[in-house]
Structure 1
Amino acid sequence: MTRRGTRFKYEPVDGSDVTSSSDESLRSEDKPFRLKRQISLFSGVCLVVSMMIGSGIFVVPTGVLKYCNGDVRTSIAVWGVGGAMTMVAAFCVAELGASIPESGSWMTYLHYAFGPFPSFLYTWMVVISANPESLAAQIIALGEYMTKLYFKDDCEVPHADLLKKLLGLSVAMLIMGVNITRVKLAVRLQIFFAFGKVVALVGIAFVGLMQLINDRSVATSNFFPEHVNVTGHGTQILADSQSHIGVAGLSLALYQGLWAYDGFEAITLVTEEVKNPARALPVITCIAVPLVTALYLIVNVAYFSVLTPTEMLSSHAVAVTFGQKIHPFVAYLMTLSVCLSLVGSLNLTFLAIARIPFIAGRLGHMPEFLSMAHIRHYSPVPAILLTLILGTCMLLSSNFDVLVTACLFTNWIFRGLTFLGLLYLRKKRKDLYRPYKVYKATAIFATLISMYLMAVPLVFQPEPLYLLSLVLFMVFMVMYLLITRGKIKMTGIGKTGRFLQKLLLVAPTSNQVQER
C-alpha cells in the first residue's frame, strides 16, 4: 500500500488477482495490459443519463398513476421522492467508486467489504439471470417499436413475433460489433443516444407547454379536479382519485417509479475507463441524477397537460398515446424516439453491463477467460459475447416477467448490503483514501431505503414467484462451495481457453490501478 501524504491510496484486494495465463507473449511484465481511460466527464454524464432514461419513462407513468388511485398530484410527488431517494443511493455509490477505482460496481464493492462470497452470489444472479433477461426484453421491445415504424396498426404481419425478435436481435448484433471493434465510437454513440433521449423528453415537455398555453382545461382538471366541472370539459376523472391512498398504494407507486430511475450506478461499472475517477464520479452523479429527475418531473407534467388519467391508465406506451392525441406525425416521432432510446439501452448493455462478467473473471468468480480483452481494440470481447449469447437464449421464450421481477427484487438486497459495506469500511479501513465522502447519515438512510424496497413487494404484493430468487441462491451457494473445495476451477486457461484466446485475439488484463 502506497502513501499519499498521510493518507493511503486504494490497492486491489489481496488474493483477488487471477492467475496469469501461460501465454506471456501477448503482454509485457513491465507494462501491465489494461483497459484505456477513454471516458471523459461529459461522456460519463451521458452514459449515466442514457442508462437511467430507458423505456421506463415512456411506460412507467401508467403504473405510478394506477397505484396512486388516479391522483395526479400524488403521482407527481412520487416521482420527486423517487428522484431524491435515487440521489441518496447514488452519492453512496460515488464514494465507493472514488475510493475503490475498479470497474464492477456492486460486485467489486461487496468483494472489497465482505469478501468473495456475497460478491460471488451477486455476480451469478446478475450475469446469468437479470442481465440476459433485461437484454432480451430490450430486444423484443425494440423489435415491437421497429415494426410500428413500418407497419400500420391494422396491418397483419406474418410471423410477427419472430420478425420482432429478429429485427431487435439484428440491431443488437450490430451494436455489439461496434462495442468490440470501436470502443470510442460506442462511447460517442452513447453520447448521441443520450442527447437523443434528452431531446425527446424536452420535445414532450415543449409540446406539453404549448398545450398549456393553448388549452389549460385538461391540465386544470387533472391537477385541480375539485375546482372543475368535469363533464363540462369532456374528461373523465376516476372516482377513485378522490379516495384515500394508503401506504400500500404509495409504496407500490414508488417502487414502480424507482424502476425508471434504475441505472444511476452505471458509471461505476466502467470506473477503470473513466479519466480521473476520484474527481469525475461525484461530479457525474451530481449532474446526471438531478438532470434526469428534473426531466422526469417536467415530462410527467407535460403528459398530464394532454392526457386524462383514464387515457393514461389505458395506454401501454404513454409517449405514443401522447403523440396520437396531438398529431399523427408527433406519434411517429414518439415511436422513433422510443426506438432510439432502446438502441441506446442496448449499446449501454454492451458498453457497461458486459463489464460485470469481465470483472468477475478477474476476481475468480467466473472463468478467467472472461477477464481478457482484445489486444488491439482493448474491449472485453469474451464478456460481451457471453452477454449477447445468454440474452439470445432468453429470446427462445418471450415470458420473462417471473425471472425479471425476482431478480430486480434480489438486486435491492445486494444494494442494501453494499451500503452496509460502506459503513463497515468506515470502521475496517479508516486508512483508505476517500477523495469524496458522504455523511454517515446518508449511508444509513440509503441502507434503510434498500430495506424498505426489499419489503415493499413482500408485504404489499406478495407472490410465490419470489421463491425463485431463493432457489437461485441455493444453486450458486453450492457452486461456491464446490469452487472453494477445488471441485470446480475458475482460474487458469485450458486447451479450449487457449483456442478461444487465439481465435478472438484476447489477452489477460491487469487490475493495477492507473495513477489518477
Structure 2
Amino acid sequence: MGRSKSNGFVLAATEETHNGHGPVKKTPPQTQEVTVDKIELGTLRRSITLVGAVAILIANIGGIGIFITPTMILRFSGSPGLSILIWLLGGIVQAAYAFCTVEIALMFNKAGGPYFYIYSSFGDMAGFVYMWGFVIFIVGPSWALGSYTASLYTLSVIFTDCQPSDFLVKLVALWLMVTLMALNSTYMKVITSIQSILTSCKVIALAIIIVSGLIYVPTETGQENLGSFMDESTTNIGNIALGLFAGSYGFGGWQVITVLAEEVKDPVRNIPRSLGFTFAVLIVVMVATNFAYYVVLSKSEALKSEAVAMLFGQRIHPVIPLIMSVLVSLCAIGNLNVLIMGQPRVLFAAGRNGHMPRIMTMLHKTYHTPWPATWTLGVVASYLLLTGSVMSLVAAISLYFGASAILLTVSIFVLRWKHPDKHRPFRIPTAVPIVVFVIMTVILFMSIYEKPWTLVSNLITILLGIPIYVIVFKCERVKKHLNFMSRIGYYLEKAFLLQYES
C-alpha cells in the first residue's frame, strides 16, 4: 500500500495515495489525511435529539445489570443495607466521572469517546492499548452478555417448566445479535425510534418492582426483612471494593453518548443535559429498586439466583414472573441495540488514527453507517458469546471500566496542560476529577488485592497490547506484510457500496 507509517493501519504523513491498485499521485509529507480517488467521501450524520439521547442513555446505563448484579453485590457486601449504600456510591462516582468526560467530549466533539481522549492525551501507544483492551474486555463481553440475557429471558417465556439448554440460549442470542447488527447497518433512524419503545420496557419493569416493594413494606415479611437490613455487613475492605466495582458496572454504559458525539444534534446543549437528567433519575430508581428487592426477599432468598427480578416476581404474584420475563428480555434487546449502535464508532475512530486498519473508517454510501467496524466487532462478540460465562464477562468489564476511569481523569489535566487555550464549552471543577481518580484507584488496587490472579491476568492481557503495538507499528518486516489491507479495502468498497470517510 505504498510508503505509509504502517501499511494499511496508519495514514498520517502519507507520501502516496491509492485507489486500491497502486499509487496514483504524490501529496506533501505534512498532509494528515489521504485523498482517495473515484469515491464520494462520507460523514456521520447528526440524527440523535435530546429525547433520543436520553432514551439511549436510560437503555444503556447499567444495561440489564439491575436485573442480574444485585445478587453479586449482596455476596460482597454481606447485607442488603450495605449493598444499597454501595449502589448509591457507585451511581454518584459514575455521574462525577461522566461529567469529567463531558469536558473532553465537548472540547473535541469527535466520534470515538474515551478511546479518542486517551489517544489525544497520551499518544499512539496508549490509544492502541486502550483499543486493544476495549475490543477484548468491553465490546465482546458487553455484546455477549446483552445477547445472552435477552435470549435467556425470551426463552423463559416459552420454557416455563424447565430451563432451556445453554446451547439453545446461545444460538438464539447469536441470532439476536446478527439481526440487530443488520438493522444498525441499514436503518439508523428506524432503530433509534424503536429504541424509545425498548427503553420504556426497562422503565415499566423497574416501576413494577418499586411499586410492589413499597406496597410490601407494611407486611409482616417486609418489616422482618427491614429489621435485618444491616445484619452481617462485611468489614472486609477488599470485598467492599469488589462490590463497588460491581456497583460501578451497574451505572456504566453512559460512555455511549460520547462515542456518538458526532451524531448528536447540538451536542454542547444535549450531551450534558441528557447525562444530568438520566443520572438524577437512575440513581434514585436503582436505589429504590434494590430497596424493593430486599423488602420482599430475605438475604438467603436473594442469593439463590442471579435472576433476582424473577425471584422477586414469584413472591409478589404468579403472573408477575411472566410479565418480568417479557419486559427484561425486551430491555436486554434494547441494551444490546445501543451497544451495537455506539461501540463500532470507537473502532471507526481508531481507524481514523491508524490504530486499526483503514477499512474500519469505511461508511456505506447510502446508509452512512460503519459496516466493517460493526461486523468486525460482531465476530469478536460471537466468539466470546459461545465460549464465556456471565461472571467472567462482568468481571472483565468492571476491571476495564475502572482502569479507563483512572486514565481519563488523568487525561483531563494532561489536556489542560497541552491545550490551555482550547475552547471548552463545559469545564468541570478541578476537585471532581481528583476525587474520582482517588476513589477509582483505591477500588482498583483493593479489588486486585482481594482477587489477585483473576484481575492481574486481565491486566496482563491489556498490557500485551504494548508489545503488539511495537511489533505491528515499529517492525518494518511486519509492516511489509500488511499491504493486503489496501486490496481488502478495494474489494469491500466495490462489493458492498462502501466509501472512505471524508
Q: Could you state the TM-score of these two structures normalised by the residue count of structure 1? A: 0.86
CA distance in structure 1 between the partners assigned to 2:63 and 2:426 by the alignment: 28
The 3 A distance-change label for structure 1 pair 412 and 255 is closer
3-state SS of paired residue (2:363):
strand
1:265-313 per-position Cα deviation (integer Å, ceiling 9, x unaligned): 2200111101111222211211111211111011112212211122112
- The structural deviation recorded for 1:74 is 2.1
Q: Indicate whether 1:295 and 2:285 are aligned.
A: yes
2:175 — aligned with what? 170
Is the contact between residue 242 and residue 443 of structure 2 (CA under 8 Å) also seen in structure 1? no
- The structural deviation recorded for 1:389 is 1.5
2:324 — aligned with what? 334
The 3 A distance-change label for structure 1 pair 404 and 74 is closer
Alignment of 1:49-448 (within 5 A): 49-70=58-79, 72-154=80-162, 160-212=165-217, 215-225=218-228, 241-242=231-232, 245-399=235-389, 401-402=391-392, 405-406=395-396, 408-448=398-438
CA distance in structure 1 between the partners assigned to 2:341 and 2:13 by the alignment: 24
- The structural deviation recorded for 1:387 is 1.5
Superposition RMSD on alpha carbons, in Å?
2.5
Is the contact between residue 142 and residue 342 of structure 1 (CA under 8 Å) also seen in structure 2? yes
- The structural deviation recorded for 1:493 is 5.4
- The structural deviation recorded for 1:475 is 4.7
1:303-348 per-position Cα deviation (integer Å, ceiling 9, x unaligned): 1221112211222211000111111210111111221121012211
1:11 — aligned with what? none
The 3 A distance-change label for structure 1 pair 492 and 364 is farther
2:38 — aligned with what? 25
CA distance in structure 1 between the partners assigned to 2:397 and 2:51 by the alignment: 31
CA distance in structure 2 between the partners assigned to 1:412 and 1:112 by the alignment: 20
1:112-170 per-position Cα deviation (integer Å, ceiling 9, x unaligned): 11111111101011124431132223222322222211012337x5xx22221121111
- The structural deviation recorded for 1:481 is 4.2
Is the contact between residue 124 and residue 476 of structure 1 (CA under 8 Å) also seen in structure 2? no
The 3 A distance-change label for structure 1 pair 409 and 275 is same
Of 474-483 and 427-436, the range deviating more from structure 2: 474-483
Of 475-484 and 188-197, the range deviating more from structure 2: 475-484
1:233-281 per-position Cα deviation (integer Å, ceiling 9, x unaligned): xxxx8xx924663423322222221111111222001111011112222
Q: Indicate whether 1:509 and 2:501 are aligned.
A: yes
Of 263-272 and 469-478, the range deviating more from structure 2: 469-478
Is the contact between residue 68 and residue 306 of structure 2 (CA under 8 Å) also seen in structure 1? yes
CA distance in structure 2 between the partners assigned to 1:178 and 1:498 by the alignment: 24
- The structural deviation recorded for 1:379 is 0.6
1:232 — aligned with what? none
CA distance in structure 1 between the partners assigned to 2:483 and 2:422 by the alignment: 29
3-state SS of paired residue (2:38):
helix
CA distance in structure 2 between the partners assigned to 1:243 and 1:397 by the alignment: 35
1:39 — aligned with what? 48
Structure 2: stretches of 5+ with no match in the other structure: 1-10, 20-35
CA distance in structure 2 between the partners assigned to 1:501 and 1:380 by the alignment: 12
2:487 — aligned with what? 495
3-state SS of paired residue (1:24):
coil
CA distance in structure 2 between the partners assigned to 1:305 and 1:491 by the alignment: 62
Counterpart AA for 2:501? T
Counterpart AA for 2:449? V
CA distance in structure 1 between the partners assigned to 2:182 and 2:196 by the alignment: 18
The 3 A distance-change label for structure 1 pair 39 and 249 is same
Counterpart AA for 2:101? V
Is the contact between residue 17 and residue 362 of structure 1 (CA under 8 Å) also seen in structure 2? no
Is the contact between residue 19 and residue 492 of structure 1 (CA under 8 Å) also seen in structure 2? no
Alignment of 1:3-22 (within 5 A): 15=12, 22=19
Is the contact between residue 18 and residue 362 of structure 1 (CA under 8 Å) also seen in structure 2? no
Counterpart AA for 2:496? L
Of 421-430 and 395-404, the range deviating more from structure 2: 395-404
The 3 A distance-change label for structure 1 pair 321 and 503 is same
How many residues align? The count is 475
1:377-435 per-position Cα deviation (integer Å, ceiling 9, x unaligned): 01111111112122122234244755763454234223211210101111221111000
3-state SS of paired residue (1:85):
helix
CA distance in structure 2 between the partners assigned to 1:253 and 1:118 by the alignment: 28
CA distance in structure 2 between the partners assigned to 1:244 and 1:166 by the alignment: 40
The 3 A distance-change label for structure 1 pair 91 and 427 is same
CA distance in structure 1 between the partners assigned to 2:458 and 2:311 by the alignment: 35
- The structural deviation recorded for 1:205 is 1.1
CA distance in structure 2 between the partners assigned to 1:221 and 1:21 by the alignment: 73
- After the TM superposition, list the runs of 4 or more consecutive aligned residues in structure 1 that deviate by more than 6 angstroms: 16-20, 489-492
Is the contact between residue 206 and residue 285 of structure 2 (CA under 8 Å) also seen in structure 1? yes
- The structural deviation recorded for 1:15 is 4.5
- The structural deviation recorded for 1:107 is 0.6
The 3 A distance-change label for structure 1 pair 110 and 84 is same
Is the contact between residue 264 and residue 289 of structure 1 (CA under 8 Å) also seen in structure 2? no
3-state SS of paired residue (1:373):
strand
Is the contact between residue 226 and residue 295 of structure 2 (CA under 8 Å) also seen in structure 1? no
